[in-house]
A and B are shown apart, each in its own frame.
Chain A
Amino acid sequence: AQTVTQSQPEMSVQEAETVTLSCTYDTSESDYYLFWYKQPPSRQMILVIRQEAYKQQNATENRFSVNFQKAAKSFSLKISDSQLGDAAMYFCAYSYSGTYKYIFGTGTRLKVLA
């Protein structure tokens, strides 16, 4: 069975500091995608970053980067220089090639302290 696990229900970070959100997944597929979505208080899920499993290089989007460990089935999100606007729920999600289905984790609430 394919599952996504986010073991940190809540995290806090000081403004301008760096924080890492954890995500592990389980799959027997070899071709798949991993995603981090942000859900701010406005409730709209916004794609933060995406990683194709066949790519060894870790994806990066400005202050957001991932540490993709395929063998360990780990996909953590690092947020550098945290800003107050980064406060949100963060969801890790998985989708395998050939399907439209996401499998989501339960989310991590990130608080940014001024």
Chain B
Amino acid sequence: ETGVTQTPRHLVMGMTNKKSLKCEQHLGHNAMYWYKQSAKKPLELMFVYSLEERVENNSVPSRFSPECPNSSHLFLHLHTLQPEDSALYLCASSQSVQSFTEAFFGQGTRLTVV
């Protein structure tokens, strides 16, 4: 079983839709992350959760709303997105934020906003 699993793999949504991205980790980690990957740009850190508490929100527009109900699950709720939000959204986890050594990534959700 993959350590970090993301669903769906692909998502096409209209600008007025509401959808959610899901991430689940089976590694017993305490920290989870959302990254945005756009073509020819470095990965952008969006949100960080440590033990279900948000510790970072990198000036992300409010049309992106994260949720971390427990340390194994992370969601990204999407509403009224813009075409420029089309990107690959990667979830990652690490053992903790305090003793960070490396992150483990999921396969991402390819989001297209039409």
Whether A43 is near chain B, meaning CB under 8 Å from some CB there, is yes
Determine whether the beta carbon of A44 is less than 8 Å from that of B107. yes
Docked pose: A35 CA to B41 CA in angstroms = 17
- Find A45's partner among B41, B42, B45, B90 (CB 8 Å cutoff): B90
Best-surrounded residue of B31, B97, B102 (most CB of chain A within 10 A): B102
A34 to B42, CA, bound (A): 15
CB of A27, distance to nearest CB on chain B (Å): 15
* Total contacting residues, chain A, CB less than 8 A: 22
State which residues 29-44 of B face A: CB under 8 Å.
31, 33, 40-43
Query: Chain B interface secondary structure, helix, strand, loop or mixed?
Result: loop
Taking a contact as CB atoms under 8 Å apart, the answer to whether A100 and B100 are in contact is yes
Please measure, in the bound complex, the distance between the C-alpha atom of A42 and the C-alpha atom of B106, giving whole angstroms.
10
* Residues in B whose Cβ lies below 8 Å from that of A91: 43
Q: How far is the CB of B32 from chain A (nearest CB, A)?
A: 11
B48 in the interface (beta carbon within 8 A): yes
Residues of B within 8 A of A105 (CB): 42
* Interface: A33 (CB within 8 A): yes
CA distance A42 to B88 in the complex (A): 12
Q: Is the CB of B103 within 8 A of A102?
A: yes
Cα distance A42–B110 in the bound complex, in angstroms: 11
> Which residue of A has the minimal Cβ distance to B107?
A44
Are B105 and A4 in contact (CB-based, < 8 A)? Answer: no
B101 close to chain A: CB less than 8 A: yes
Is B108's CB within 8 Å of the partner chain A? yes
Q: Is A55 interfacial (CB 8 A cutoff)?
A: no
B94 contacts chain A at the CB level, 8 A cutoff: yes
Which residues of the partner chain B approach A43 to less than 8 Å between Cβ atoms? 88, 90, 107-108, 110
Complex CA–CA separation, A35 to B102 (angstroms): 9
* 22 contacts across the A-B interface (CB closer than 8 A): A9-B40, A33-B102, A35-B102, A42-B107, A43-B88, A43-B107, A43-B110, A44-B105, A44-B106, A44-B108, A45-B105, A47-B104, A50-B101, A50-B102, A91-B43, A95-B100, A100-B48, A100-B94, A102-B43, A102-B45, A106-B40, A106-B41
